[in-house]
């Protein structure tokens, strides 16, 4: 019976939806995390009778078609601004607006991230939370007393015995025409794809790129209340699809009993 296969597509789609919701909730406290959603589409209909068929001197006002289910069309990350959390750490940086930090992976490929929980390695280089060098590379002197980062990305240090700040580099941000087209590489990192377009690299505050906020971190943009509501919707849809499977099974049982 077609209803069994149709209901099975609904079960599969809702299971994937619940998996996406589970991932969103699991990352509610992940720095710079962007929530995802699933986009679904209906499958081709079985065309039994086309609308507009001529019947005598008139035409049928409607046809007859039966849908055969649903499938997941795509998953889409929502790159809306997350909330800001004060940390007062010199190397915690949040982006207020569009843009991504650039880091260099061990392979030499440039990756992009919204997670600004930076630190320094043994040589004083500013690195991401997973140890990747920030691009462009900036090195903090060993005897620096503090680091100050302006909204425009200028990195300066205060040296012992000096009143004036000493500039040691500038942070740059990358912006994409379609950030949803970036490939999520895990570890709070994204990679460029043909769908995202080439990065537009610029100083913060220029070309529509956001500004930097030192001593703050951008938290996840997941809204737990919205995810809970979506989870309940998915659960109920899964239950109804399961009920269709049970009802179809009962109908098949009655047919088999009648044929015995």
* 132-165 confidence digits (pLDDT tens): 999 999 999 998 999 999 999 999 999 987 888 9
Element (H, E) at 200: strand 200-202
Distances (CA, A) of 24 to 29, 85, 86, 132: 10, 19, 23, 25
Average pLDDT over residues 230-258: 87
**Tokens 């004036």 found at:** 164
How far is residue 113's CA from residue 190's CA, in Å, rounded to a whole number? Answer: 6
User: How many angstroms separate the CA atoms of 125 and 135, rounded?
Assistant: 11
Out of 34-48, 76-90, 170-184, 242-256, pick the least confident: 242-256
Per-residue pLDDT reduced to its tens digit, 59-69: 777 778 788 88
Confidence check: pLDDT of 23 > 90: yes
Instruction: Round to whole Å and give the CA distance between 188 and 177.
Output: 19
pLDDT, residue 252, reads 80
Query: Which residue from 76, 252, 101, 235 is spatially nearest to 172, judged by alpha carbons?
Result: 101
State the pLDDT at residue 198.
Answer: 95
pLDDT digits (tens, 9 = 90+) for 69-121: 899 999 999 999 999 999 989 999 999 999 999 999 999 999 999 999 999 99
pTM of the model: 0.85
Rounded Cα distance between 59 and 51, Å, is: 8
């Amino acid at each position: 019976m077609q209803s069994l296969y149709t209901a099975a597509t609904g079960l599969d789609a809702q299971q994937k939806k619940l998996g996406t919701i589970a991932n969103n909730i699991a990352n509610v406290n992940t720095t710079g995390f962007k929530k995802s959603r699933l986009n679904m589409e209906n499958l081709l209909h079985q065309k039994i009778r086309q609308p507009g068929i001529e019947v005598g001197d008139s035409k049928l006002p409607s046809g007859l078609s039966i849908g055969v289910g649903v499938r997941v069309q795509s998953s889409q990350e929502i790159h809306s601004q997350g909330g800001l959390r004060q940390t007062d750490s010199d190397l915690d940086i949040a982006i207020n607006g569009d843009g991504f930090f650039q880091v260099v992976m061990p392979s030499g490929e440039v990756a992009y991230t919204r997670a600004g929980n930076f630190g320094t390695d043994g040589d004083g280089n500013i690195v991401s939370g997973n140890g990747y060098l920030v691009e462009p590379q900036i090195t903090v002197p060993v005897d620096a007393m503090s680091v100050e980062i302006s909204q425009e990305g200028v990195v300066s240090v205060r040296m012992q015995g000096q009143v004036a700040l000493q500039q040691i580099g500038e942070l740059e941000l990358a912006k994409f025409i379609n950030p949803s087209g970036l490939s999520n590489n895990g570890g709070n990192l994204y990679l460029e794809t043909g769908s995202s377009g080439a990065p537009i690299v610029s100083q913060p505050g220029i070309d529509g790129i956001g500004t930097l906020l030192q001593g703050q971190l951008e938290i996840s943009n997941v809204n737990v209340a919205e995810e809970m509501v979506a989870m309940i919707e998915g659960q109920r849809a899964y239950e109804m699809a399961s009920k269709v499977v049970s009802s179809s099974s009962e109908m098949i049982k009655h047919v088999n009993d009648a044929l015995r």
